[in-house]
Amino acid sequence: MKILVVGSGGREHAIVWKIAQSPKVDKIYCAPGNGGIGECAECVDIGAMEFERLAAFAKEKEIDLTVIGMDDPLCGGIVDVFEREGLRVFGPRKNAAILEGSKAFSKDLMKKYGIPTAAYEVFTDPEQAMAYLETAKFPIVLKADGLALGKGVLICGSLEEAKAGVKTLMLDKQFGSAGDEIVIEEFMTGREVSVLSFVDGQTIRIMTSAQDHKRAKDGDQGLNTGGMGTFSPSPFYTAEVDAYCREHIYQKTVDAMRAEGREFKGIIFFGLMLTADGPKVLEYNARFGDPETQVVLPRMKNDIVEVFEACVDGTLDQVELEFEDNAAVCVVLASDGYPEKYEKGLPISGLERFAGKTDYFVFHAGTKRDGDGRILTNGGRVLGVTATGADLKEARKKAYEATEWVEFANKYMRHDIGKAIDEA
Ligand SMILES: Nc1ncnc2c1ncn2[C@@H]1O[C@H](COP(=O)(O)OP(=O)(O)O)[C@@H](O)[C@H]1O
Ligand SMILES: [Mg+2]
């Protein structure tokens, strides 16, 4: 088979790496890809939002299956374009990707179908949002409806802060039209867990749990980022939590989407909070999480291409997912200054130490290859260093060891990825 992956981050590197393990695959392309992806796929210089060019490329190269990694093209309807052209593609159509693309939609869906989530109201009028806040309890959470690069959620400790937040989102339009509508929701407390799943429209298969670290600095300080590290499984995702979510959240979400005429095929990422009242959905994503993918896929035993095909064909009920009985930790190596200002174009050394290892992985997020074949930094998050181990502690020790193998100027990482492991 020939496969095309659309995207360019650590997530896509992990997906491409996993696809490359499949005996069914002869050739992998990745558009646009990055410096590391180039080692297991042919990178193609077409942007992820250039749907027509991507579809034309897929036709020309007779691609058997295209896998979409990123949220923007999914919410923009790339799957619809590919299907219209008669191309096989893995991911939700635009009318289903709205599960991630509109927080107001997902909240209303959960309310309508009795899926546990925080209490909320939706506002399109800033005046009404302000008036509502006058009688609200604090802290309170404001969420821009649309995609906002993970920055559209504000947790406000006081009325003043919340009013300023409404202004930022709805009047100043810091996230553009993503803030035309906002969700104001109850503040919850508890541990957060991410759960990834495959869905074929009807059947859902849970992969495993993971936990992300969004803040830039140790101790969950600093600005929000795309993710500074992950571990899998989460020790807090117990059999009891799993049973509850299977009964009240996972299948119900898939059935709700079908009932709405928005059959969901692809990945559903459940962002959960384990509250005193039981697990509740914080949000849905309509694709693999990054960097969760970098700890989940190295633990997966299945041929991922078979699972992708089962989702597209609607035969996921015949597939059982299998994961290693181990653990994985990923530490992101960033450029100091991320997520604000940072340098690019710095040479990276030591990557060859990962070659041929089956328990250490380096996934490239922001890298590029120069004319001499050297790998240079090309983004804020540069690499994801993952290690697997018998348990979380061993995986963490190995992952941090491996962070020392790689060098580049201004290398920055958090030192407390997986700290929660000690509290479990
Ligand atoms: N109702 C809530 N109560 C407490 N914290 C929340 C709530 N909603 C979101 N958060 C926090 O904000 C983060 C981002 O919110 P989320 O809904 O996942 O949006 P996004 O990932 O699109 O930014 C969550 O991971 C969580 O830490
Ligand atoms: Mg989130």
Residues 367 and 397 in one domain: yes
Residues 282 and 207 in one domain: yes
Q: Is residue 347 part of a domain?
A: yes
Q: State the ligand closest to the CA atom of 118.
A: 1
Closest CA to 236 of 10, 376, 36, 424: 424
Q: Which of 273, 275, 284, 288 to mutate to test the pocket of ligand 1 (most atoms within 8 A of CB)?
A: 273
CB 420 within 8 A of CB 236: yes
Using the structure block, give the residue that is written with the tokens 């983004």.
379
- Distance separating alpha carbons of residues 232 and 289, to the nearest angstrom: 12
185 in contact with ligand 1, CB cutoff 6 A: yes
Alpha carbon nearest to ligand 1 atom 16, residue: 283
Write the Ramachandran bin of 103: left for phi over 0, alpha for psi from -120 to 50, otherwise beta.
Answer: alpha
Q: 271 alpha carbon to ligand 2 midpoint, in Å?
A: 6
102-134 pLDDT, tens digit per residue, is: 999 999 999 999 999 999 999 999 999 999 999
Q: Which of 130, 152, 186 is the last residue of a domain?
A: 186
- Distance separating alpha carbons of residues 30 and 38, to the nearest angstrom: 8
The phi and psi torsions of 355 (rounded to 5 degrees) equal -60, 135
Per-residue model confidence (pLDDT) at position 32: 97
247-306 pLDDT, tens digit per residue, is: 999 999 999 999 999 999 999 999 999 999 999 999 999 999 999 999 999 999 999 999
Per-residue model confidence (pLDDT) at position 70: 96
Alpha carbon nearest to ligand 1 atom 8, residue: 282
CATH of the domain at 415: 3.90.600.10
**Residue 181 belongs to what domain range?**
119-186
Per-residue model confidence (pLDDT) at position 302: 98
- Distance separating alpha carbons of residues 68 and 288, to the nearest angstrom: 9
Please give the number of the atom of ligand 1 that sits closest to the Cα of 283.
Answer: 17
Write down the pTM of the prediction.
0.97
CB 228 within 8 A of CB 413: yes
Q: Is residue 105 part of a domain?
A: no
Per-residue model confidence (pLDDT) at position 19: 98
Residues 74 and 180 in one domain: no
How many domains would you assign to the chain? 4
Residues 234 and 314 in one domain: yes
Residues 368 and 413 in one domain: yes
Residues 351 and 412 in one domain: yes
Q: Is residue 229 part of a domain?
A: yes
DSSP-derived letter for residue 331 is E
Low pLDDT (below 70) residues in the chain: none
187 in contact with ligand 1, CB cutoff 6 A: yes
CATH of the domain at 156: 3.30.1490.20
CATH of the domain at 85: 3.40.50.20
Q: Is residue 108 part of a domain?
A: no
CA angle 214–149–144, rounded 5-degree value: 105
- Distance separating alpha carbons of residues 100 and 142, to the nearest angstrom: 16
Residues 294 and 199 in one domain: yes
Per-residue model confidence (pLDDT) at position 374: 95
- Distance separating alpha carbons of residues 200 and 333, to the nearest angstrom: 35
Per-residue model confidence (pLDDT) at position 149: 85
Closest CA to 37 of 66, 14, 62, 64: 14
DSSP-derived letter for residue 424 is -
Per-residue model confidence (pLDDT) at position 106: 98
Q: Which of 318, 339, 357 is the last residue of a domain?
A: 318
Residues 214 and 281 in one domain: yes
Alpha carbon nearest to ligand 1 atom 22, residue: 150
Q: 282 alpha carbon to ligand 1 midpoint, in Å?
A: 6
CB 367 within 8 A of CB 34: yes
CB 354 within 8 A of CB 360: yes
Q: Is residue 100 part of a domain?
A: no
CA angle 388–389–390, rounded 5-degree value: 140
Q: Is residue 113 part of a domain?
A: no
Write the Ramachandran bin of 322: left for phi over 0, alpha for psi from -120 to 50, otherwise beta.
Answer: beta
SS3 116: coil
CB atoms within 10 A of CB 393: 14
Q: Is residue 106 part of a domain?
A: no
Q: 4 alpha carbon to ligand 1 midpoint, in Å?
A: 32
Residues 136 and 247 in one domain: no
CB 57 within 8 A of CB 34: no
CATH of the domain at 203: 3.30.470.20
**Six-digit token string for 21:** 């393990």
Q: Is residue 104 part of a domain?
A: no
Residues 341 and 411 in one domain: yes
Residues 142 and 219 in one domain: no
Q: Which of 127, 159, 186 is the last residue of a domain?
A: 186
Which residues share a beta bridge with 385?
331, 362
Q: 270 alpha carbon to ligand 2 midpoint, in Å?
A: 9
Residues 197 and 308 in one domain: yes
